[in-house]
Amino acid sequence: MVHIPVSEFGERIERLRELMRAADLDACVVYGDEYRRENLRYVSNFWPLFERGALIVPLAGEPVLLAAPEGEMVCREMTAWQDVRVIPDFACVTVPEEIEYPQAHFTTFQKVFDELRQRGPLRKAGLVGADAMSHQVYLTILNSLADCELVDANSMLHEVRLIKSPNEIACLKEAARIADSAYKALMDAAQPGRTELQLAAAAHDAAYGNGAETVPFCLVSSGKRVDTIIGRATNKTVADGDMIMAALSVQYEGYIATINFPFVAGSRSEEQSRFIDLLIEANDIAKSKLKPGGKQADLVKAVKDYFRGQGVDRYDLYPPLHGCGVAEAESPYPNEASTGEFAPGMTVNTDISLFGHPDGSNRIEECFVVTEDGYEPMSALVGQLCGKWTAERGAR
């Protein structure tokens, strides 16, 4: 089974500590919950359900993982760390009431920080995930560090997560393999007379049947609904000639691969075919710029220049590439002014899209790992579909 070994979580913490020392931080608090799980999952392997969690990382010694009462046992089951504590502040995120847990053994942020002060001074601390937590949780952390400067440390985790290890890449490849099988099932189900929800159900069934941890999203829209960009599946019936916009995201061991290929249910018009041609050609252009040392801005500019040349740039709504990993979209997420370069071990998605075009709206998403001499696709299916399409169009 492909997974991230416990030892790798220790290596991640040491890389984080190097950045902490450079920023003169004595500790770092990494927050996460069911909805914004990526940073906490990355440093602890814990993914809260309904509740919240945080890993407190001192400069020395084992980190302290804070969980909530109902999720304590699954936290201990999942996490790479031994020191797990329970605090009331992290109980169910969806209700305003204070829930009683008479059998819970609670601690507090204040007690944990006081304990850390016995190991060494606590003058300046970083906080990862302030943008995701509730105001009340933020105030509790802030008040518990009244004599300590608290600074935003989100950039540290983005930097640590940027280059993937062989184990991370293996997990992403497995997520992509599962996504491929599920997308095939969705395309097979996309027959006139079926509903969008039935297409999504086919994808979910195949994804879980092939080992998905979860399906973060399965976007399905058809006909004029493709203009919704990120439309959820509905009871709308797919008609003959409807363009289908289906983006499928699959999570495996915390790692997320997303794929999307534009297609039409039943008979396809020449106008729809030319529209799909545009996306495939732009995706090929993007891939030609994907190489170690290549400027990320050059990839963005090449795609946008192509769309400008084809007179469709007004339908191009956002940059054509983003990173992937423990989040569906993560760094790098470049634009034409970005200064970053591609490096071996980066994992990215091309995200080539046109929305509001008279002949349809859609995108191509294909996931890659940057290698020493170019790139390697993680999804086999999208490349196969693009190649088959190009061959069939060229034969006409």
Residue 38 confidence (pLDDT): 96
Tens digit of each residue's pLDDT (9 = 90 or more) over 360-396: 999 999 999 999 999 999 999 999 999 999 999 876 5
Can you name the residues that pair with 66 across neighbouring β-strands?
54, 85
Residue 171 confidence (pLDDT): 98
Average pLDDT, the chain: 96
117-121, 175-179, 223-227: the lowest-pLDDT one:
117-121
**Is the model more confident about 32 or about 103?**
32
Q: How far is CA 239 from the centre of its chain?
A: 32
Give which of 17, 270, 11 is closest to 166, Cα–Cα. Answer: 11
Q: Is the pLDDT of residue 93 over 80?
A: no
Average pLDDT over residues 80-93: 92
Instruction: Domains for the chain: give ranges and CATH numbers.
Output: 6-161 (3.40.350.10), 166-394 (3.90.230.10)
- Percentage above 90 pLDDT, the chain: 92
DSSP E strands in the chain: the ranges are 27-33, 52-58, 64-67, 84-86, 124-128, 149-152, 214-222, 243-252, 255-260, 263-264, 321-323, 347-357, 360-371, 374-377
Residue 96 confidence (pLDDT): 79
pTM (2 d.p.): 0.96
Residue 92 confidence (pLDDT): 79
Residue 395 confidence (pLDDT): 65
Tens digit of each residue's pLDDT (9 = 90 or more) over 189-222: 999 999 999 999 999 999 999 999 999 999 999 9
Tens digit of each residue's pLDDT (9 = 90 or more) over 138-189: 999 999 998 999 999 999 999 999 999 999 999 999 999 999 999 999 999 9
Residue 396 confidence (pLDDT): 58
